[in-house]
Structure 1
Amino acid sequence: MKIAVYGATGMVGSQIVAEAVRRGHEVTAISRKGAPVEGAAVVRAADLADVETYSEVAHAHDAVVLATVPDRTGGSRQPYIDAHRAIAAVPTAARLYMVGGFGGLKTPDGTPIKDTPGFPAEYKGESDAVYVAYEALRDAGADLTVQAPAAVIAPGERTGEYVTAVDVPAAGERISSQDYAVAALDELEQPQFRGTFFTASN
C-alpha cells in the first residue's frame, strides 16, 4: 500500500510511519520542513494548506494520514481548520485517516467529552478545532476514518494489544503512541471502522 503521512515528524505521525514501514508499505513522509524520517521512501516538505500539493499526494497514494495538530504556541487555530476545509473540497479516491482527539468522543448521553464540565480548559480550544476539521471532512463525504487516542497518549511500549470502541471511550485510560500506530495500520490494512470515529486504548 502507498501511504502518505502529513505530520510525519510528530509523536503520532512518526510512529505511524515507523509501523507502516515495518509492515512493508511504501511511505511518503510529509512535514513542514521536510525533515528526514527513518524508513520513508519519500520525504516531502509541504503544509496541509497547500491544496495543490495535497491533491497531487492524494491522487498518488492509497491512503493519506492526517496527523497534524492545531497551533500550540498561542497562535490562531483557524489556519488548521481552514486547511481541512480546503482539502475537503479536493476530490480523491484515497482513503483519509485522521488522527482525532479524545475530546471528540461522546458520553453515554451523546455529549462530546470536550463539552462536558470536567474537560480540562487548556485542551478545549484544540479539541474544538480538531472536531470542526473532522466535521468538514465528514460533511464533504470523504472516505474518512477518524481514530481518537485514549485520554492519555505518550511514547511507550509497542505491545500490539489494544481495545477499541466507536464514538465513546474504550476501556483503559492510556495508549502508547506505538500502539496507536499499530491500531491505525491494522485498520488501514483490514478496515473495520471505515466511516466512523473510533478509539483505541491499551
Structure 2
Amino acid sequence: MKIAVIGANGMIGSQIVSEALSRKYQVTAYTRSGTQIEGTTSVALELTNTSAVAKAINSHDFTVITVASRDNYQAAIDAHTALIHAAPTGRFLIVGGAGSLEINATRLYETPDFPSDYSVEARTFGQILDLYRSAPTDVQWTIAAPSPEIAPATRTGRYILGSDSPVGDFVSTQDFAIAIIDEAEKKQNLRRRFTVATEQA
C-alpha cells in the first residue's frame, strides 16, 4: 500500500509514519520544509497548495492529513474548503480534534468547562468536520478524532473506537497511529468521523 502523510514530522504524523513503515508500506512524507524522514520519500508541501494536495491524494492508496495550522486557522478552513471543491478521487483521512466530539448532542467546546486556550482550534476543526459532512458523496473523506488527551506514551495495540462521543479520556499517539493505519486497511469509516481511546488495563 502507498500511504501519504501530510504533516509527517509532527507529534501525531511522525507516529503514523512509523506505524505505516512498520507494516512495510511505501510512505511519502510531506512537510512544509521537505524534511528528510528515514525510510520515506520526503517532499515539501503546503496544505494551502490545493492542486498539489489533491495530486498527492490521487497518487496514493491512502492519505493522512495531520496539520493543526495553529498559525492560521482560517487558512486551514479555506484549504479544506478548496480541497472539497477539487474533489480528489483517492481516500484521505483528516486528523481532527477532540473538541468537536459530543456528549448528549453538545460539542465539548460548547461546554462551560472547556479550556479557553483550545477553543479556537476546537471550533475550527468543528467547522472543518461540518464542511466534510456537507461534501459531495464522491469525496472519500474520513476524520479521526483523538480522546480529549493525546500524548506520546506506550504502544499498547489495544484501543477502543467510537463515533461522535468520547470513548475514553486518553489515547497515546502510538495507539492513535495504529487505529489510523488499521482504518487504511479496513475501510470502515468512509465519509464519517470516528474517535479513538487507549484501552485501559
User: Under a length normalisation based on structure 1, what TM-score does the superposition of the two structures give?
Assistant: 0.92
Structure 1 stretches of at least 4 aligned residues deviating more than 6 Å after TM superposition: none
Take 2:154 and 2:22, find their aligned partners in 1: how far apart are those partners? 15
Take 1:47 and 1:111, find their aligned partners in 2: how far apart are those partners? 33
Superposition deviation, residue 24 in structure 1: 1.4
Question: Secondary structure of 1:89's match?
Answer: helix
- The answer on 1:88 being equivalent to 2:84 is yes
Among candidates 181, 185, 193, match of residue 181 of structure 2: 185
1:174 and 1:27, CA in 2 relative to 1: closer, same or farther beyond 3 A? same
Could you tell me whether the CA contact under 8 Å between 2:55 and 2:88 is conserved in 1? no
Q: Which amino acid aligns with 2:117?
A: E
Q: Which runs of 5+ in 1 are unaligned?
A: none
Among candidates 152, 168, 174, match of residue 149 of structure 2: 152
Instruction: Report what 1:197 is aligned to.
Output: 193
Superposition deviation, residue 81 in structure 1: 1.1
Instruction: Report what 2:33 is aligned to.
Output: 33
Superposition deviation, residue 195 in structure 1: 2.1
Take 1:138 and 1:60, find their aligned partners in 2: how far apart are those partners? 24
Q: Which runs of 5+ in 2 are unaligned?
A: none
Q: Which amino acid aligns with 1:167?
A: D
Superposition deviation, residue 175 in structure 1: 0.9
Take 2:72 and 2:46, find their aligned partners in 1: how far apart are those partners? 16
RMSD of Structure 2 on Structure 1 (CA): 1.2
Q: Which amino acid aligns with 2:18?
A: A
Take 2:129 and 2:4, find their aligned partners in 1: how far apart are those partners? 18
- Percent same amino acid among aligned pairs? 38
User: Under a length normalisation based on structure 2, what TM-score does the superposition of the two structures give?
Assistant: 0.93
Q: Which amino acid aligns with 1:163?
A: I
Superposition deviation, residue 184 in structure 1: 0.6
Q: Which amino acid aligns with 2:165?
A: V
Superposition deviation, residue 70 in structure 1: 2.4
